[in-house]
């Protein structure tokens, strides 16, 4: 990290529409800054409570999210789309599993750091703008090749049990740090939860305290 840059930790899951909207707000905030901002992405698994031991999702598990919950979520997504001027091809991605995308992204972050931001952006765009299945290894390989990351590296990452174990530890570490939902932005120990507007992110660095209200 550059000594001249501020640092923001972003906890996110690609299948969370509010994470995508949060990254749009973050980009607007970064463009308004004079000082550089380095973003440290930390993976978070929204489907963790529904996973079987082999990592697949058991959609029969009751997580308390009913039709009313999803309809409210869609309304909130539409509201923030309008507020931030963001186009999206879909409001929710309930049936998409982000675990392969997070495993691939974790590899790119560690092994191809210069390409990680482009890869991260491309994964979001593939899901939320193009409605592609980011749980499909072939989709992830296409994304990687578009940002000059070897397809072999992605194949190896997706088959690597040790890398998967590292990712699982990151999921656990996020929860130990008190992260219970995403997106979550942390700067200098201050926290903002939800797809907060750019001015809320600015407050994190101004030391004005954290917002605990989920958007």
What is the chain's pLDDT, residue by residue, as a tens digit (215 residues)? 455 679 999 999 999 999 999 999 999 999 999 889 999 999 999 988 888 887 888 777 877 788 899 999 999 999 999 999 999 999 999 999 999 999 999 999 999 999 999 999 999 999 999 999 999 999 999 999 999 999 999 999 999 999 999 999 999 999 999 999 999 999 988 999 999 999 999 999 886 444 433 34
Closest CA to 134 of 152, 122, 117, 146: 122
- CA-based torsion, 149, 154, 160, 162: positive or negative: positive
**Secondary structure of residue 149 in the 3-state scheme:** coil
| 63/103 Cα distance (integer angstroms) | 24
Tokens 């529409």 locate to 17
| 145/151 Cα distance (integer angstroms) | 6
- Which residues does residue 137 pair with via DSSP β-bridges, in sequence order? none
Structure tokens that stand for 13 in this block: 């899951």
Taking only the tens place, the pLDDT of each residue in 23-58 is 999 999 999 998 899 999 999 999 888 888 878 887
Angle, CA of 125, 36 and 18, to the nearest 5° = 35
Find the DSSP H helices in 85-197.
99-111, 113-128, 137-146, 151-158, 161-176
pTM for the model stands at 0.90
- CA-based torsion, 154, 156, 159, 160: positive or negative: negative
**pLDDT of res. 65:** 82
DSSP run (H or E) holding 3: none
Angle, CA of 77, 79 and 85, to the nearest 5° = 95
Angle, CA of 13, 62 and 101, to the nearest 5° = 20
CATH superfamily of 6-206: Glutaredoxin (3.40.30.10)
**pLDDT of res. 55:** 80
Domain definitions of the chain by residue range: 6-206
């Amino acid at each position: 990290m550059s000594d001249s840059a501020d640092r923001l930790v972003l906890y996110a899951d690609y299948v969370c529409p509010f994470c995508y909207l949060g990254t749009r707000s973050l980009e607007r905030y970064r463009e308004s800054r004079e000082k550089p901002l380095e973003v440290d992405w930390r993976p978070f698994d929204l489907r963790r409570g529904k996973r079987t031991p082999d990592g697949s999702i058991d959609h029969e598990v009751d997580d308390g999210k009913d039709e009313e919950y999803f309809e409210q979520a869609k309304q909130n997504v539409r509201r923030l789309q309008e507020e931030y001027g963001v186009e999206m091809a879909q409001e929710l991605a309930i049936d998409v599993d982000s675990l392969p995308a997070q495993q691939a992204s974790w590899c790119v972050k560690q092994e191809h750091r210069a390409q990680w931001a482009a890869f991260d952006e491309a994964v979001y765009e593939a899901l939320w703008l193009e409605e592609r299945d980011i749980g499909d290894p072939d989709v992830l390989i296409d994304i990687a090749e578009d940002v000059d990351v070897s397809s072999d590296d992605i194949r190896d990452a997706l088959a690597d049990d040790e890398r998967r174990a590292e990712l699982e530890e990151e999921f656990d570490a996020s929860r130990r740090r008190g992260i219970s939902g995403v997106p979550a932005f942390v700067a200098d120990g201050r926290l903002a939860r939800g797809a907060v507007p750019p001015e809320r992110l600015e407050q994190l660095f101004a030391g004005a305290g954290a917002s605990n209200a989920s958007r």
